Amino acid sequence: MLLGSQRVNAQGHLEIGGCDTTALAAEFGTPLYVMDEGQIRDNCRRYKAVFAERYPKNDVSFASKAYLNLAICKVVEQEGLSLDVASAGELYTAVKAGFPMEHVLLHGNNKSQQELEMALEYGVGRVVVDNLAELRQLAFLAKQSGKTQKVFIRVTPGIDPRTHRRIRTGQEDTKFGLSIATGAALEAVTEALGAAPHLEITGLHCHIGSQLLDSHTHEQAIDIMVGFLRKVADTTGWMPEDLDIGGGLGIRYVEAHQPPSYEEFADSVIGALTAALTKYDVPPPTLWQEPGRALMGEAGTTLYTVGVIKTVAIPEAPGTRIYVAIDGGLSDNPRPQLYDAVYECLNAGRAGEPKTQTVAVAGKHCETDILIQAAQIQRIETGDILAVQSTGAYNAVMASNYNRFPRPAGVFVADGAADLVSRRETLEDVLSLDIIPKRLA
């Protein structure tokens, strides 16, 4: 399963973006997040193009919660995508990167006053309003500032997607958004319309879940959302001009995963949208989307150095298990523990050889942090470089200092060059916020 620019070079090593991964590990150390810049750019261009060809009225926003630093903001801007952020920290990153604020959406189910004030101060393009309390607070702050803020209202279509329970967001029982079924969404729309001129509601937003390997739930959500556009227009006399269906398209973590291609996904989404617009007699809105994992996930690879290799007895066949310990784990990738996430890996220095071993890849934390329970791998020895694929989304952004581990470095690779985009933390960095009170000194 070679992804993006990955290939096996003449030395039999894994190469990404024209860079030998064993050389990257030697230069930058491990664990190391390696991002295939060429694949990211190609993904952004293709995703935009397939939707523009089928439905010209569209806007694609990168969901920065998947992967964010100053460098990726520059890439996303250069490729002509908008950006969605979900915290003061994510918004401030976009500001420091010089990202055009009119193309930024601010999300969050419990936005602080500071975050709403930042949105007004920096001129965020849309605030995605999650609840009535936030709607009223934002209207008050906008009035105080003398500004008009464009908003979307986030609604829940009442769909339970087929994905892990912790990444479902479109069902009725969720912390996100306002229910269509209970009338809360319509109430919020009516109140937002009454908050003019301080708020300008331009559209509706929904997001149904993440790592979806088919388009069925998107099709269902679109039908419900367009039907709600019709109801809003009939009730209030106002027809929303924007419809944001969020993100959620899945990627290949293992070879068995077969998500729709961008083209197949676009066919399904636009087909469903076109049918619903006709069904409910709704004029075509601008279609907004927020892919994150779908753009970044397969473009990321994490490199580790193999340490202790241990064989233990187990009661089931084949009677033994081989544990391969790496120099990272839970602190740089918590997804296996959070979401039962699965991955594939390979020995970066023997990538051209057949996978002849089955091993358990274990982290080095004071925890049972098994990264891959039963990994098929080439012959592996202490000191080898292990490459875990499809780690471009929700890995670096979820990294922690558990066990006081410094967070890994990250590099962009392209055309045979590697550039540091986030330096490795030092032990001093880890301690930099600690304070000893005078009474304990």
What is the per-residue pLDDT for 292?
97
Q: For the chain, what percent of residues have pLDDT higher than 90? A: 94
152: closest CA among 131, 116, 128?
A: 128
Mean pLDDT across the chain:
95
Token representation of residue 41: 């750019």
Nearest-10 crossing angle of helices 113-122, 132-145: 50
Would residue 3 be called left, alpha or beta, if left means φ above 0 and alpha means ψ between -120 and 50 degrees? beta
Strands 104-106 and 82-85: what pairing? parallel
pLDDT at position 176: 87
Lookup result for tokens 């009474």: 439
Mean pLDDT calculated for residue range 120-145? 98
Where is 276: in which H helix or E strand? helix 262-280
- Torsion (CA) 269, 274, 275, 279 in degrees, nearest 10: 130
Average of per-residue pLDDT across 230-249 = 97
Q: How far apart are CA 213 and CA 309, in angstroms?
A: 35
d(CA 348, CA 384): 8
With 0-12 CB in 10 A as exposed, 13-18 as middle and 19+ as buried, what is 175?
exposed
Distance in angstroms (rounded) separating the CA atoms of residues 71 and 129: 28
Which pLDDT score, from 0 to 100, does residue 320 have? 95
Instruction: Indicate left, alpha or beta for 86 from its phi (over 0: left) and psi (-120 to 50: alpha).
Output: alpha
Q: How confident is the model at residue 171 (pLDDT cuts 50, 70, 90)?
A: low
pLDDT for the residue 168: 41
Reply yes or no on whether the pLDDT at 161 is more than 70. Answer: no
Q: Where does the pLDDT of residue 394 fall: very low under 50, low under 70, confident under 90, or very high at 90 and above?
A: very high
Alpha carbons 331 and 405: distance in angstroms, whole number: 7
Classified by CATH at the fold level, domain 107-291 comes out as: TIM Barrel (3.20.20)
Which residues lie across from 104 on neighbouring strands?
Answer: 83
**Beta strands of 213-343 (E only): which ranges?**
242-244, 286-289, 300-313, 320-326
Exposed/middle/buried for residue 114 (C-beta within 10 Å: 0-12, 13-18, 19+): exposed
Told to judge if 19 belongs to the known catalytic residues of this protein, a careful annotator would answer no
pLDDT (tens digit, 9 = 90+) per residue, 55-79?
A: 999 999 999 999 999 999 999 999 9
Q: Which residue reads 């550039």 in tokens? A: 419
Give the per-residue pLDDT at 62.
98
Flag whether pLDDT at 173 surpasses 80: no
Q: Please tell me the distance from the alpha carbon of residue 251 to that of residue 441, in angstroms, as a whole number.
A: 51
Q: Looking at residue 172, what is its pLDDT? A: 67
Residue 94: both structure tokens together: 């976009």
Tens-digit pLDDT profile for residues 349-370 = 999 999 999 999 999 999 989 9
94, pLDDT greater than 90: yes
Determine whether 388 is exposed, middle or buried from the number of CB atoms within 10 Å of its CB (0-12, 13-18, 19+): buried
In one letter, which amino acid is 125? Answer: G
C-alpha to C-alpha distance for 341 and 243, rounded to whole angstroms: 31
d(CA 189, CA 205): 11
Closest CA to 32 of 412, 394, 431, 417: 412
Q: Which helix (H) or strand (E) holds 85?
A: strand 82-85
Each residue of 96-124: pLDDT tens digit? Answer: 999 999 999 999 999 999 999 999 999 99
pTM above 0.85, yes or no: yes
- For the domain covering 7-36+297-431, report its CATH number: 2.40.37.10
> Phi first, then psi: what are they for 118, rounded to 5°?
-60, -40
pLDDT at 163 over 70: no
Does residue 185 carry a pLDDT above 60? Answer: yes
For the chain, the structural domain boundaries read 7-36+297-431, 107-291
